[in-house]
């Protein structure tokens, strides 16, 4: 499985930076969209691949559309975004796709939409991939990365208002 991460057309700088950060989390590189249509992007997907398109409102990332190779769309609605360059402590690049810490229904839903593996504890994770942990903050879920080697937590990267399947 791989992720193709891109933005809506002509994105502002903050959205481009956020796309790079999302690509960092998923251990890949963002695709510069140019004039590629949605259909052309979907054609690039293999069986288990996912296309993540980052949309914006008023210059800020507002949602991530997750599209599979059959064209099925799910949406992750965002509330607040913090770029890696704005963080005091920055995570280092890992080579493998992250896993999701299975602590609640929300993490199961997120994992299902993106096709990510669930783990019951941080100790189960491969040392060469991050663990995605969600923290519930007043019925909103904030995404953090945990390094399984030293159990250091990085984030919060963004807050999710809602997931629409």
- Please tell me the total count of domains within the chain: 2
71 and 114 share a domain? Answer: no
CATH number at 73 reads 3.40.50.10480
In a domain, 34, yes or no: yes
Give the model confidence (pLDDT) of 102-114 as tens digits: 998 899 999 999 9
How far is the first Cα of the chain from the last one, in angstroms, to the nearest whole number?
Answer: 20
In a domain, 38, yes or no: yes
Q: How confident is the model at residue 147 (pLDDT cuts 50, 70, 90)?
A: very high
**148 backbone φψ class: left, alpha, beta (φ>0; ψ -120 to 50):** alpha
Q: How confident is the model at residue 94 (pLDDT cuts 50, 70, 90)?
A: confident
Three-state SS string over 101-165 comes to ECCCHHHHHHHHHHCCCEECCHHHCCCCCCEEEEEEECCEEEEEEEECCCCEEEEEEEEEEEEEC
In a domain, 92, yes or no: no
The pLDDT value recorded for residue 34 is 86
The pLDDT value recorded for residue 14 is 95
In a domain, 93, yes or no: no
Distance CA 42, CA 132 (A): 26
Give the model confidence (pLDDT) of 3-62 as tens digits: 999 999 889 999 999 999 999 999 999 999 889 999 999 988 988 899 999 999 999 999
Which residue range(s) make up the domain with 152?
Answer: 99-160
25 and 75 share a domain? Answer: yes
Residues 118 and 137 sit within 8 Å (Cβ to Cβ): no
In a domain, 122, yes or no: yes
In a domain, 90, yes or no: no
Residues 116 and 132 sit within 8 Å (Cβ to Cβ): yes
The pLDDT value recorded for residue 79 is 92
In a domain, 44, yes or no: yes
Give the model confidence (pLDDT) of 107-140 as tens digits: 999 999 999 999 999 999 988 999 999 999 888 9
10 and 64 share a domain? Answer: yes
In a domain, 89, yes or no: no
Q: Look up the pTM and report it.
A: 0.91
13 and 73 share a domain? Answer: yes
Select from 79, 114, 142 the last residue of a domain: 79
The pLDDT value recorded for residue 95 is 86
């Amino acid at each position: 499985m791989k992720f193709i991460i891109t933005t809506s057309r002509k994105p502002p700088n903050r959205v481009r930076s956020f796309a790079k950060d999302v690509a960092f989390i998923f251990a890949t590189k963002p695709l510069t969209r140019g004039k590629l249509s949605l259909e052309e992007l979907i054609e690039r997907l293999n069986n288990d691949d996912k296309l993540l398109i980052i949309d914006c409102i008023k210059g800020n990332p507002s949602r991530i559309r997750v599209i599979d190779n059959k064209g099925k769309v799910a949406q992750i609605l965002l509330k607040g975004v913090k770029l890696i360059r704005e963080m005091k402590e920055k995570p280092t690049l890992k080579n493998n796709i992250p896993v999701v810490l299975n602590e609640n229904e929300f993490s199961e839903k997120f994992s299902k939409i993106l096709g990510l593996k669930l783990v019951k504890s941080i100790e189960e994770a491969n040392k060469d991939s991050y663990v995605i942990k969600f923290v519930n903050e007043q019925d909103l879920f904030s995404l953090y990365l945990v390094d399984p080697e030293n159990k250091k937590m990085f984030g919060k990267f963004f807050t999710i208002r809602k997931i629409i399947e």
